[in-house]
Amino acid sequence: MRVIHENSFTPSEVEHYRQVVFDNLTRGLRYVLDAMKDMELSVQSHNLSYVELVEQSLGIQEGDPYPPEYHEPLRQLWDDPNIQTAIRRGNEAALPEK
């Protein structure tokens, strides 16, 4: 609604949402990866090295830039066909829609 009515966010709100977005990306992907075990799915072999990075993500702190080492792993994992299958089957695991 703020964007529609041209009300800007405060710098602290922008920072808060920036941290939340990164957390949603990594935590949501961890939920999918956990659900994949029950669905008997696994990421493609060339993406296995990225799983550990995502599973050990601690988030970002105030003022920290988005870690560039996450860009390619998040993109590759999102493009993984088995992750996409798990997301489509999300109702089986009650995955959040974030």
State pLDDT tens for residues 23-46. Answer: 999 999 999 999 999 999 999 999
| Mean pLDDT along residues 42-66 | 93
Q: Categorize the per-residue pLDDT at 54 as very low, low, confident or very high, splitting at 50, 70 and 90.
A: very high
74 versus 2: the higher-pLDDT residue is 74
pLDDT of residue 2: 63
One-letter amino acid of 70 = Y
User: Is pLDDT at 5 greater than 80 in this prediction?
Assistant: no
Give me the pLDDT at residue 1, please: 56
All domains of the chain, ordered by start, with CATH? 11-92 (1.10.400.10)
Q: Checking phi first, is residue 39 left (phi over 0); if not, alpha (psi -120 to 50) or beta? A: alpha
Helix 81-88 vs helix 11-38: crossing angle, to nearest 10: 90
The overall pTM is greater than 0.85 = no
User: Residue range 62-69: average pLDDT?
Assistant: 92
Long-range contacts of 79-86 (CB under 8 A, 24+ apart): 80/43, 80/44, 80/47, 81/44, 82/36, 82/41, 82/42, 82/43, 82/44, 83/29, 83/32, 83/33, 83/36, 83/43, 85/39, 85/41, 86/32, 86/35, 86/36, 86/39, 86/41
More confident residue, 8 or 50: 50
Residues making up the chain, counted from first to last: 98
Q: What is the pLDDT of residue 92?
A: 81
